[in-house]
Structure 1
Amino acid sequence: MDRKSFEKLVQEALDRIPSEFQSAMKNVAVVIQDRPGPEAEEGADEEEEGGLYGLYQGIPLPDRTADDSGATPDIIFLYQKPLEENFPNRKDLIREIEITVVHEIAHYFGFDEDALERYGYD
């Protein structure tokens, strides 16, 4: 799939996020890369099945202080190639993009891996 088509699927997943969460997200960039770099894979959970699909980089909302105002944007990385390779069926790919987007946004709001697992976003 070309990058533009993938970006469209990501935007559609972002558009499905409830508006109250969308409006609460401030200073967050979504960046699509082909694959994670070595530094991203180093920090990833070693139990990631099929590779790393996304990564949140920033200070979770509940952990912020006044000193964090004006900080560089938080970034949600999405990795196109691992998603496409592990979900060749378009319907499955769309679903996994949505799961990954929600998972990374949840980190922004302070959810840890255990909480995400309880909600089915592991």
Structure 2
Amino acid sequence: MEPIPQERFGYLVDDALDLIPEELAARFENVAVVVEDEHPEEPELLGLYEGVPMTERDSYGGVLPDRIAIYRLPLCDLVDDEDELVEEIRITVIHELAHHVGIDDEELHQLGWG
């Protein structure tokens, strides 16, 4: 589908974050979710987690938040309509947040999310 405006895409990402169950959302700590057009070196990426997974933290104070980027252009390219886009954003957000809590790609695949 044609890319939607970044502001509208940002609202869809916010909606995906709002759908995360409260008991799961309470586990996220010191993480920022941002919207970008695409990754500068890997334009096919849908999202990217950058940081130290919570399972690998011991003394973790005074550091910048972990960062999750959700990439607008490749997600729009992947789908045919906005309903599909909403679903792909939701999957991507969950996938990247799973990395934040220490779930790797292999475990995500076993859970049906990879």
Using the size of structure 1 for normalisation, the TM-score is 0.86
Aligned residues with identical type, % of pairs: 40
Q: Tell me by how many angstroms 1:13 deviates.
A: 0.4
Instruction: Report what 1:15 is aligned to.
Output: 18
- Give the partner amino acid of 2:52: I
Moved over 4 A (4+): none
Aligned alpha-carbon RMSD (Å): 1.2
Using the size of structure 2 for normalisation, the TM-score is 0.92
Equivalent residues of 2:27, 2:101 under 8 A apart: no
Equivalent residues of 2:44, 2:74 under 8 A apart: yes
Aligned length: 111
Deviation per residue, 1:19-48 (Å, 9 max, x gap): 11212212111111101012xx3xxxxxxx
* Structure 2 gap segments, 5+ residues each: none
Paired residue for 1:31, among 24, 29, 34?
34
Paired residue for 2:55, among 56, 62, 69?
62
Instruction: Report what 2:69 is aligned to.
Output: 77
Q: How far, CA to CA, are the matches of 1:30 and 1:119 in structure 2?
A: 23
* Structure 1 gap segments, 5+ residues each: 42-49
